[in-house]
Structure 1
Amino acid sequence: MKKIIISTLAVSALLFTTSCKNDFDTDVKDITVTSGEADFSRYVSLGNSLTSGYRDGALYSSGQNESYPSMIAGQMKFAGGGDFNQPLMPNDTGGFTGLPGFPGKLNLQVVNGSLSPVESPAAAALDNISAGRPYRNMGVPGAKSFHLVAPGYGSLAGLATGTANPYFVRFASSATTTVLADAMTQTPTFFSLWIGNNDVLSYATNGGTNSQTTGGVTTYTAATVQTGNLNPATYKSNDISDTNVLAGSIKGVLDGLKSVGTTKGIIGNIPDVTSIPFFTRVPYNAIPLDAATVQKLNTTLYGPLKSVLTAYGQGDRLNLVAVGNNPVLIKDNKLTNLSAQLTAALVGAGYPADQAAFIGNAFGQTRQAKQGELILLTASKVLGLDAITNQPPTASSQFIYGASFPIGDQLSLTADEVGKISTAVKAYNVAIKGLADSYNLAFVDANAKMKDLDSVAGITWNGVKYTATFVTGGAFSLDGVHLTGRGYAIIANEFIKSINAKYKSTLPLVDPNKYTGVKFP
């Protein structure tokens, strides 16, 4: 259960071609390339990891060279576009030695007979390449909307307090500047802005865990955002940003660019983050059980626990398991904590006190996952392991993650948490579309395109089909969140089509099939 197994049949599907309709049927490759009403001579892109070219859990040089803005800039060169300098990492592995939480990229390796993504050690220490400015790609992995207007986000000293980001520290013009300010100094003639994904993604990828009592949302007024008075001590990293924060921050970026004469550009909305492989790869009922295991679990665990829970009106938390696929055991911190009651009942049933306490504490807020709830990709590292040893189970193992012991709260999203994410994404996208309209900018419905990828039909280019299926779908990288070069090409084409429609330009589309996908050993 714990490994991400990729079969040879699935791998061969990557090479399969289909006669489905080409989703990019508005290509202008046979038309004379012009800039139309736009000026592409100084194109600057702002955003987060999706803008930087981040993939496979890291930022590394070859991935940056396949960022969607660099693809767009390459097409802009046919219409008077200038050079597009990027703050390239010093190697093709990524990560920062000496900085916890910044490993190198994931690689597919054969582990115990199956292919699994394996993390690489970080390749080099944090470097400073500010002397190479100006950098046209201002995408900063990890940035939320308000980070683009936050002074000190590129301060080396700020790394210790959590107010800075090493990826911006690398190329910021000073310790006090903002991402926006460094973009403004370049007086762009055209810009792209794709921001807001992280304002809800960090909450989602951490299983809805946060430090707030308000359901994961911290509220600020738009005026507070615009004056830069966001307090990092109260705005926690895993919170869902209030819509005022996102809208106020994006407005601040647009106003800043407008103040230096940059009025033409394109802005994208954000996808429903729960439709990407990080949240869809592991099904809610990922526990396969045979008849002998079913009988053992129902007799020794599920039956006794359900009896106690029923006595307290909580019997719906657990149902007896059956042969076949069964729901994963998850923690739900909204449930009444019945640890003490379960422990006492188990002691009364003859369990040793220490074992009763262990089970009672584990199951105090535990239930089976339900259809529509999400098990995170990170759960695949523990599902099926012995919960005591964190090793593959033996015949004597009693507590197995997912089957007879709950996975951590940070590894799943309950229906309530999924609802909060969906509500935030919808509100963000209404705000982003409103800003695009009010500032008369081109607009990309990235949310709709991600839904196309997540559909059964997917997206095709010259007979090659792309979907949101983990690894074998071709569009998403090994981290399940960020795209491959081919996936970024799909997004680049959406930006190009919207630019052409808005500004009457005729930039040619890129060919996703020419870029790299997941690399197999």
Structure 2
Amino acid sequence: MTKLTKTLLGGVALLALLAAGCSLDTPDPATLADVEQPEGAEYFANYVAIGNSLTSGFMDAGLVTNGQVNSYPQLLASVMGAKAYTFQQPLIAFPGIGSSSTGDPSLVAGVLHFDGAGISLAGTTALADVQSTLLLAAAWPVPYNNLGVPGATTLDVTSALGSGSSQSPGNSYFDFILRNPSFGDVSMINQAIALGPKLITCWIGNNDILGGATGGEPEVGINITPTAEFNAMFTDILDGLTVGVTDRYGYEPAIFVGNVPGIASAPYFVPKALFDVMAGNPIPTEETAVYVRFPALGYLAAGGPVPLPPEWTLDAGEVGVVDTAVTEFNAAIAAAVAARDNVWLYDANTVLAGLDPNTEAAHFLALVGTLGIETAAATTYFSLDGIHPNNRGYALVANGFSAVINGALGTALPQIDIGDITWDPTYDMLPKQGGPLLDSRAAAA
């Protein structure tokens, strides 16, 4: 168990009484006899989101309130008419809880920010202070409506109870989002069912592929989930949600799923020619690179030797492995949706692939030199980590889901004006002068 895990679990021990709230005991059928199936906007009365970092509002390599209040589930809940106190998220105070390395096990990284010269950590928090200063909603007495966990895989939705059982070992995000064992050791899917959702969004599968792509050496069965295994787990999730809610509450939930975006949509994977421009000169690589991973800028800034080792690049064969997995996963998702009357698909892959790679899907660092901070931030849909959307990107996703919901349920959810959504990559912190484009700590994001 990690030190962060122990800190988080110690703080939520007072919530032990909540385990009963997650109980999935079989209800008395007589109590369900008169329950009516929701229609139209009635589905909006109880909305729950499950998934990974893309659901949680993760941006700039971390979870922080600035991103969470603009997560696509929160934006969807808002246009559905939910008040802030009725749609609950595991809000994290600034500087957030990030995925970067601090180099010091007693410190927890915050999110990344643009400091005026490059990308660096916006701050750190002492491990001992995480519970008291960062976890703003730890005492919420029932499961969160947004159960998206950064790093979650498809297997984790039904199997992970905490950092000790997550597919990627030691993922402490599970501990302060699922809050087990205080919640009775209940998985993401069963916490969602316990809330009795009438409408569910589920966006999962990205991390079953992304680990291979971001590691630079993708291989099916090693760091990419085989398609047959993904399909079995994904259909189990859909059927588990449907049966679980129907058996316990007497109505069938409407489920809306997102599919898996291709890596070409994410500015984390930088085309080799563009990477050379960002680095300031042509960078030799050990393999013939199609893409260079964005954090290689930090590797070079820290004095890493060249040619770049294979873990920093993807060659044509490796890109083919990843692209094939994305295609197969999305075919499995589409087939699962087509086979079920209460499930609909948001084609996130097509939407994100349609963004302009030179503007909307460009990395902030590739834009800021010519556009300036404010215009660059208002142009791209991606955050500083290059994988996750920024506030504007999550609004785009929310609009996509709401359009599918309207078509399925005959409702009239309004579209969010993305022009009204802002993203501040500086986090309103004073810039400093000098320094590398991407510092070595931020490079680990």
TM over 0.5: yes
| Corresponding letter in the other structure for 1:382 | Y
Match of 1:374 among 291, 296, 300: 291
- For the structure 1 residues 281 and 120, does the alpha-carbon distance in structure 2 shift closer, same or farther, using more than 3 Å as the test? farther
> Out of 322, 336, 346, which is 1:444 matched to?
346
Count of aligned pairs between the two proteins? 357
Structure 2 counterpart of 1:190, one-letter code = L
State the alpha-carbon separation in 1 of the partners of residues 314 and 106 from structure 2: 26
Amino acid at match of 2:155: F
CA displacement at 1:162 relative to structure 2: 5.1
Q: Could you say which residue in structure 2 is the equivalent of 1:310?
A: none
- Which of the residues 470, 475, 480 maps onto 2:363? 470
| AA at the equivalent of 1:104 | G
Give the letter for the 1:117 counterpart.
Answer: I
- Deviation of 1:495 after TM superposition, in Å, equals 0.4
- Give the secondary-structure state (helix, strand or coil) at the position aligned to 1:453: coil
Equivalent residue for 1:330, pick from 281, 285, 289: 285
Q: Please report how far the alpha carbon of residue 498 of structure 1 lies from its aligned counterpart in structure 2 after TM superposition.
A: 0.6
Residue equivalent to 1:217: 220
1:275 aligns with 2:265: yes
| Secondary structure of the structure 2 residue equivalent to 1:424 | helix
The worse-fitting range, judged by mean Cα deviation, of 127-136 and 473-482 is 127-136
CA contact (8 A) 2:147 2:188 kept: yes
Question: Structure 1: which 5+ residue stretches go unaligned?
Answer: 1-33, 210-215, 219-235, 290-323, 333-368, 392-399, 457-465
Q: Does 1:188 align with 2:194?
A: no
The one of 153, 159, 162 aligned to 1:155? 162
Alignment correspondent of 1:40: 44
Q: Distance in 1 between matches of 2:148 and 2:345?
A: 18
Is 1:251 matched up with 2:235? Answer: yes
Aligned-residue CA RMSD in angstroms? 3.0
Conserved? CA contact 1:95–1:124, under 8 Å = no
Q: 1:245 Cα deviation (Å)?
A: 2.2
Shift of 1:124: 5.0
Letter in structure 1 aligned against 2:71:
S
* Whole-Å separation in 2 of the counterparts to 1:55 and 1:414: 27
Q: Give 1:154 deviation, angstroms.
A: 3.2
Q: Structure 1 118/278 Cα, relative in aligned 2: closer, same or farther at 3 Å?
A: same
Query: How many angstroms does 1:244 deviate by?
Result: 1.8
- The CA deviation at 1:482 is 0.7
Mapping 1:120-135, distance limit 5 Å: 120-125=122-127, 126-127=130-131, 129=138, 131-135=140-144
Shift of 1:109: 1.4
Residues 95, 123 of structure 2: 8 Å contact kept: no
Among residues 404, 409, 424, which one is paired with 2:310 in the alignment?
A: 409
SS in 2 for 1:266: strand
SS for the counterpart of 1:432 is: helix
Pairing of 1:78-227 with structure 2 (within 5 A) = 83-95=86-98, 103-110=109-116, 115-125=117-127, 126-127=130-131, 129=138, 131-150=140-159, 153-155=160-162, 157-158=164-165, 163=169, 165-175=171-181, 176-208=185-217, 216-218=219-221
CA-CA distance at 1:264 after TM superposition:
0.8
Distance verdict in 2 for CA 1:426–1:207, change over 3 Å: same
More helix per residue: 1 or 2? 2
Q: Which residue in the other structure is 1:241 paired with? A: 225
Query: 1 CA distance for matches of 2:272 and 2:109?
Result: 23
**Code of the aligned partner of 1:269:** N
Q: How does 1:331-410 map to 2 (within 5 A)?
A: 331-332=286-287, 369-370=288-289, 373-383=290-300, 390-391=302-303, 401=305, 405-410=306-311
Q: Any residues of structure 2 matched to 1:504-519 within 5 Å, and which? A: 504-519=410-425
2:7 — aligned with what?
none
When normalised by structure 2's length, the TM-score is: 0.73
Q: TM-score, structure 1 length as denominator? A: 0.63
Structure 2: unaligned runs, 5 residues or longer: 1-37, 247-251, 365-375, 432-445
Identical columns (%): 30
| Residue pairs, 1:302-317, within 5 angstroms | none
Alignment of 1:417-456 (within 5 A): 417-440=318-341, 441-455=343-357
Question: Given that residues 55 and 478 in structure 1 are in contact (C-alpha distance below 8 angstroms), is that contact kept between their aligned partners in structure 2?
Answer: yes
Instruction: Note the C-alpha offset of 1:438.
Output: 1.3
Shift, 1:208, TM fit: 1.7
Aligned counterpart for 2:79 among listed residues 53, 75, 78? 75
Distance 1:266 1:87 in 2: 22
Q: 1:130 touches 1:170 (CA, 8 Å); kept in 2? A: no
Q: 1:374 to 1:480 in 2, by over 3 A?
A: same
Deviation at 1:425, TM superposition (A): 0.1
Aligned partners of 2:345 and 2:191: how far apart in 1? 23
Q: Distance in 2 between matches of 1:253 and 1:130?
A: 28
Q: CA deviation at 1:268?
A: 1.0
1:314-370 per-position Cα deviation (integer Å, ceiling 9, x unaligned): xxxxxxxxxx975x43234xxxxxxxxxxxxxxxxxxxxxxxxxxxxxxxxxxxx35
Equivalent residue number for residue 500 of structure 1:
406
Cα deviation, residue 120, structure 1: 3.4
- Distance of 2:168 and 2:269 partners within structure 1: 27
SS in structure 1 at match of 2:328: helix
Deviations 1:93-117 (A, max 9, x none): 324887699621111113xxxx311
- Contact 1:243–1:427 under 8 Å retained in 2: yes
* Mapped contact 2:154–2:205 kept (Cα < 8 A): yes
Shift in Å at residue 156 of structure 1?
5.4
The separation in 2 between residues aligned to 1:196 and 1:174, in whole angstroms, is 23
The answer (yes or no) to whether the contact 2:147–2:178 under 8 Å persists in 1 is no
User: Alpha carbons of 1:247 and 1:100: their partners in 2 closer, same or farther (altered >3 Å)?
Assistant: farther
Structure 2: distance between partners of 1:43 and 1:264 = 10
| Conservation of the 8 A alpha-carbon contact between 2:108 and 2:125 | no
Is contact 2:44–2:198 with CA below 8 Å preserved after alignment? yes
Q: 1:287 to 1:89 in 2, by over 3 A?
A: closer
What's the secondary structure of 2:120's corresponding residue?
A: strand
Q: Match of 1:463? A: none
